[in-house]
Amino acid sequence: MQSIGQIKEVCVLGGSGFVGSSIVTRLDAAGYQVKVLTRRRESAKHLLLLPHVRVVECNVLDYKALNRELRGADAVINLLGILHQSRRNTFNLIHQQLPAQLARICIDLNIKRVLHMSSLRADKDAPSQYLRSKAAGEASLMAEKNRLNITIFKPTVIFGRQDRFINLFASMIKFLPVILLAKPAAKFQPVWVEDVSACFLSSLENPATFGQTYELAGPKVYTFRALIQIIMAVLHIHRPIIGLNDRLSYLQAFFMEWLPIKLMSRDNVRSMEVDSVSDAPFPTVFDRTPSALETVIPQYLVNQTSRGNYDRYRRHAAR
Ligand SMILES: NC(=O)c1ccc[n+]([C@@H]2O[C@H](COP(=O)([O-])OP(=O)(O)OC[C@H]3O[C@@H](n4cnc5c(N)ncnc54)[C@H](OP(=O)(O)O)[C@@H]3O)[C@@H](O)[C@H]2O)c1
């Protein structure tokens, strides 16, 4: 078993992304040597100035390349994930095969500590392929829990300055006269990215979290419709919301799958068949009270309001 203070170098897969950037920033501030593996160095350029961070281009799906880059690491954090699959990048490849390959390499290289990001409601019988593939990834890692010190995190939808969920709907509210909302009664319990990344850091060298799986959710449950209404209130914009029934929700998603920008797929709608809500309280082992959405999103959505624009113009004019 690893003891506290043994971990010096941490390798992060998916470190350039929304959640990854928050985790990498915390690892850096805590003094760990961090190696971020990315497909394109450009995607991680915002991390390059962090003093303990090295960004390395690597195709993590290539066994040999990943094996080479993981050599010397004391711990690995896997944040790889996709919401929409393509012909090349399937859920099976990213969520299932990669964690299995990662487990084999860690055993080979004697890297004991592995932190892995899954998703709330991931289950082998879940309604969506996304959730089923996440469950398969969890299972292949946990199968090695006698040889590896694994911790799995299962967050619900995550919000924060660079999130896709809240920012996407904020943009849609600004540009669309009416919101046609799929699955308006689906429930979410959003969790702040800083709460999530704090848990990863707190868990890294805490043996009490080895072999454990943690659901991470915020303090409040909202319907999808209520979430959109909160975003509208923050933006001071009102739009009528038309809730779609199940058939129309799938039909809308079917048409959206043909758009060049991936907004919502039928698999995303299937994920909403189960409420993204946790039955458990926030894990006490992390000694943290999670923040509510209403207290955080005004800090980053304010730039999208007319008041925010006005403040920006004033700052530009140095007034
Ligand atoms: N955001 C949420 O609300 C939420 C909720 C629950 C669970 N999660 C899970 O949390 C993790 C991080 O989510 P996120 O929101 O931070 O995602 P993100 O911003 O899209 O970042 C995902 C990262 O995965 C890497 N990646 C994506 N496709 C890849 C591929 N085909 N090959 C190699 N690398 C690939 C990207 O790295 P490069 O582009 O640098 O290669 C990127 O940095 C994911 O596992 C996600 O499923 C997120």
Q: What is the band of 310 on the pLDDT scale with cuts at 50, 70, 90?
A: low
Q: 106: Cβ below 6 Å to ligand 1?
A: no
For residue 319, the number of C-alpha atoms closer than 13 Å in the C-beta half-sphere is 6
Whether residue 318 has pLDDT greater than 60 = no
Q: 17: Cβ below 6 Å to ligand 1?
A: yes
Whether residue 165 has pLDDT greater than 60 = yes
Task: Give pLDDT, residue 2.
Answer: 54
Interacting residues of 250 by C-beta distance below 8 A, sequence separation 6+ = 266, 269
Nearest CA among 161, 147, 199 for reference residue 26: 199
Residues 181, 245: Cα–Cα separation, whole Å:
9
Total-model pTM: 0.94
Q: 16: Cβ below 6 Å to ligand 1?
A: yes
Residue 215's DSSP bridge partners are 154
Supply the residue whose CA is at minimum distance from atom 20 of ligand 1: 17
Task: Give pLDDT, residue 308.
Answer: 54
Q: 160: Cβ below 6 Å to ligand 1?
A: no
Phi, psi of 89 (to 5 degrees): -110, 95
Q: What's the mean pLDDT when you consider all of the chain?
A: 94
What percent of the chain has a predicted confidence (pLDDT) above 70?
93
Q: 155: Cβ below 6 Å to ligand 1?
A: yes
Residues 295, 310: Cα–Cα separation, whole Å:
22
Q: Are 32 and 7 in contact (CB under 8 A)?
A: yes
CATH of the domain at 36: 3.40.50.720
Q: Are 123 and 131 in contact (CB under 8 A)?
A: yes
**Other beta carbons within 10 Å of 92:** 15
Whether 101 is in a domain gets the answer yes
> Model confidence over 47-73: pLDDT tens digits?
999 999 999 999 999 999 999 999 999
Residues 171, 304: Cα–Cα separation, whole Å:
8
Q: Which atom of ligand 1 is nearest to the CA of 19?
A: 16
115 Cα to the center of ligand 1, angstroms: 14
> 274: which 2 tokens?
């189960």
Task: Give pLDDT, residue 306.
Answer: 56
Task: Give pLDDT, residue 26.
Answer: 98
Nearest CA among 69, 68, 67, 65 for reference residue 55: 69
Q: 46: Cβ below 6 Å to ligand 1?
A: no
Supply the residue whose CA is at minimum distance from atom 1 of ligand 1: 158
Residue 310's DSSP bridge partners are none
Supply the residue whose CA is at minimum distance from atom 35 of ligand 1: 80
Whether 42 is in a domain gets the answer yes
Q: 94: Cβ below 6 Å to ligand 1?
A: yes
Probe residue for ligand 1, chosen from 21, 37, 42, 80 as the CB with the greatest number of ligand atoms within 8 Å: 80
> 75: which 2 tokens?
């711990």
Whether residue 4 has pLDDT greater than 60 = no
Task: Give pLDDT, residue 309.
Answer: 55
**93-107: b (≥16 Cβ within 10 Å) or e:** bbbbbbbebbbebbe
What's the rounded mean pLDDT across residues 76-92?
A: 95
Domain that holds residue 75: 9-160+190-216
Supply the residue whose CA is at minimum distance from atom 19 of ligand 1: 17
Whether 110 is in a domain gets the answer yes
Whether 309 is in a domain gets the answer no
Q: 99: Cβ below 6 Å to ligand 1?
A: no
Q: What is the band of 312 on the pLDDT scale with cuts at 50, 70, 90?
A: low
Whether 60 is in a domain gets the answer yes
> Model confidence over 18-45: pLDDT tens digits?
999 999 999 999 999 999 999 999 999 9
Burial class (CB in 10 A: 0-12, 13-18, 19+), 302: middle
Whether 54 is in a domain gets the answer yes
> Model confidence over 237-278: pLDDT tens digits?
999 999 999 999 999 999 999 998 889 999 999 999 999 999
Whether 58 is in a domain gets the answer yes
Q: What is the band of 314 on the pLDDT scale with cuts at 50, 70, 90?
A: low
Give strand ranges (E) for the chain.
9-13, 33-38, 53-57, 75-78, 113-117, 149-155, 158-159, 179-181, 187-188, 191-192, 212-216, 222-223, 241-243
> Model confidence over 86-141: pLDDT tens digits?
989 999 999 999 999 999 999 999 999 999 999 999 999 999 999 999 999 999 99
For the chain, what's the residue count? 319
285 Cα to the center of ligand 1, angstroms: 25
Whether residue 1 has pLDDT greater than 70 = no
18 Cα to the center of ligand 1, angstroms: 7
HEC profile of 70-134: HCCCCEEEECCCCCCCCCCCCHHHHHHHHHHHHHHHHHHHCCCEEEEECCCCCCCCCCCHHHHHH
Supply the residue whose CA is at minimum distance from atom 18 of ligand 1: 17
Q: Which atom of ligand 1 is nearest to the CA of 95?
A: 45
Q: How many domains does the chain have?
A: 1
Whether 312 is in a domain gets the answer no
Task: Give pLDDT, residue 307.
Answer: 53
